[in-house]
Amino acid sequence: MRYLVFSDIHSNAEAFERFLAQKKARNVDKILFLGDLVGYGPDPDAVITLFRELPHLKAVRGNHDKVIADLESSALFNPAAAFSAEWSKLKISPANLQYLKKLAKGPQVIDRFVTICHGSTFDEDYYVFSQFEATESFRFMNTSIGFFGHTHFPIIYYLRNDKLDVVPLTENARIKLDRNTRYLINPGSIGQPRDKNPTSSYIIFDSGKMEISFNRFGYEVARTQKKIRDAGLPELLASRLEAGV
Ligand code: ZN
């Protein structure tokens, strides 16, 4: 079984369209999305419309999806995130807003191998940025593999014989998984990469070969930036895209 795993599109239509055109992203058996379809970017409605057409899809909601669907207030967001959330609410069609509202809360167990969540396995909004937080997240996971998003930072944490370690994900990395090891894996972000590399990233997990492949691709950043500026969204949301931060 081949799983396509991706996260954090953040209303970036240029990156999302380029992702959908990736040859490697086709011929998969399951598509797993880890949350934050919208927020920050200039194309919330177009992104939801495209997303809804995906086949074999299992998805969880992100914190931005929740706020923009009016399930939570934007009071805890930083000013740029809050501004873009309020702006996004006005740009999404009623049918797409309904769809956003109904996105599942994580974690979701996909099958006997895989769990997906946005932040962590015990709290959808909790950031897993360190080994300490990864250890907590392993405690609340019942499958051997978990995929998470939220940090926009591609990484693999693994737990073998009660020892936790980390594998960085470098471009085109192929990593063999061990059946006696547990993994928490972040594919990075489609629409707002933050690991100082502005290219988008995603993962393919092949459960037959027990292998993860990590893939990156570029998109027309300047076009997305222009849309952000033309819409009057905060400048930070445009400038960070080319720095990948
Ligand atoms: Zn996000």
In the structure encoding, which two tokens stand for residue 148, read together? 């998470």
Residue 237 amino acid letter: L
Count of other CB atoms within 10 angstroms of residue 30: 18
Whether 10 contacts 34, CB under 8 Å:
no
CA of 180 to the centre of ligand 1 (A): 31
**pLDDT tens digit string along 124-182?**
999 999 999 999 999 999 999 999 999 999 999 999 999 999 998 999 999 999 999 99
pLDDT in tens, 68-125: 999 999 999 999 999 999 999 999 999 999 999 999 999 999 999 999 999 999 999 9
CA of residue 8 to ligand 1 center, whole Å: 5
Q: 36 CA distance to ligand 1 centroid (A)?
A: 5
Tell me the per-residue pLDDT of 28-64, one tens digit each, with 9 for 90 and over. 999 999 999 999 999 999 999 999 999 999 999 999 9
Q: Which two tokens stand for residue 66?
A: 């929740």
pTM score, two decimals?
A: 0.97
What is the 64 CA–ligand 1 centroid distance (Å)?
A: 7
Dist. CA 134–CA 158, nearest whole Å: 9
Separation of CA 209 and ligand 1 centre (Å): 30
